[in-house]
Amino acid sequence: GTGESGKSTFIKQMRIIHGSGYTEEDRKGFTKLVYQNIFTAMQAMVRAMDTLKIQYTSKENEESAQMIKDVEVDKVTVLERKQVEAIKKLWEDPGIQECYDRRREYQLSDSAKYYLTDLDRIATPSFVPTQQDILRVRVPTTGIIEYPFDLENIIFRMVDVGGQRSERRKWIHCFESVTSIIFLVALSEYDQVLVECDNENRMEESKALFKTIITYPWFLNSSVILFLNKKDLLEEKIMYSHLISYFPEYTGPKQDVKAARDFILKLYQDQNPDKEKVIYSHFTCATDTENIRFVFGAVKDTILQLNLREFNLV
């Protein structure tokens, strides 16, 4: 999948559902990343306030914005009281809320609202990240990360790859013997542009990558499983951001989640030139453990069935 489609979140779910999970010690290790995600989000909005020419409601908030802007995010290890107060006041500022509502016009992490509305809990001195906090942490993946786990005495080796353009050429040739490809699409990206190039639609890029992958010679015998992810964000967004504005070929009704989901699924199915090849698809929410538990149960059966068939065992 392309950048921010949910690949690493899915791998974290595999660790929670089928692996060793996260001990308290592991969870403490994410504290700094949660803090850094909060600063990254607020800095992105503060920069966008300038670009979009939105006013703060008070001089005090303007000064707070400057203070947050000056923070070196990768050096953050604690949340200082004055920073917490500044971030809270900024998040309550109607200007910042307008800026948040216009987030498709700049790059903002999907977890911004989740963390900022829960700042009181996160700012307590005894804070230890919960499982959900960990699932929401955004750290861009670079290179290739392999995660093996044992499922009913079968070892699954899952490989997570960086989705940004610069990362892809590192991994594409490494996968000659994979049995299955799980390709993730962020359903909510239909109205967003790339981090790498701000005039290209994210879904067009994702669709092009999907076509490239399923037509690669060394993936011809791999089964393809499509996860149409972030279905929760699509449900919110479709109410005010219309699909037809970005995909004029969409003829369905506005504000209709099912019609939007089906249209996006068909966009990807249409990339498959081999009509004999089945693409297995699931609508997912990678931050929802129960949803992923259910979906991966189905995926596991698909993978095992296809493997057995390949070795003439069924």
Residue list, annotated binding site for GTP? 4-9, 110-111, 135-141, 160-164, 229-232, 286
Residue list, annotated binding site? 4-9, 110-111, 135-141, 160-164, 229-232, 286
- Residue 309 pLDDT grade (very low, low, confident, very high; cuts 50, 70, 90): confident
Determine which one of 93, 160, 189, 205 is catalytic. Answer: 160
23 assigned to active site: no
270 assigned to active site: no
Taking the C-alpha atoms of residue 156 and residue 280, their distance in angstroms, rounded to an integer, is: 18
Contact 133, 30 (CB under 8 A): yes
CB atoms within 10 A of CB 3: 23
Tens of pLDDT, residues 286-302: 999 999 999 999 999 98
Checking if the pLDDT of 259 tops 80, the result is yes
Contacts 24+ apart (CB under 8 A), 193-201: 194/2, 194/3, 195/3, 195/4, 195/107, 195/164, 196/3, 196/164, 196/165, 196/166, 201/246
- Shortest CA distance to 225 belongs to which of 176, 165, 158? 158
Tell me the whole-structure pTM to 2 decimals. Answer: 0.90
Q: Across all residues in the chain, what is the average pLDDT?
A: 93
Tens of pLDDT, residues 137-160: 999 888 788 888 888 888 888 887
Taking the C-alpha atoms of residue 233 and residue 285, their distance in angstroms, rounded to an integer, is: 9
- Shortest CA distance to 158 belongs to which of 142, 175, 141? 175
For domain 24-136, which architecture applies?
Orthogonal Bundle (1.10)
Domain spans, the chain: 24-136, 175-311
Residue list, annotated binding site for Mg(2+)? 8, 141
Was domain 175-311 assigned CATH 3.40.50.300?
yes
204 assigned to active site: no
**pLDDT value of position 199:** 84
- Residue 172 pLDDT grade (very low, low, confident, very high; cuts 50, 70, 90): confident
150 assigned to active site: no
164 assigned to active site: yes
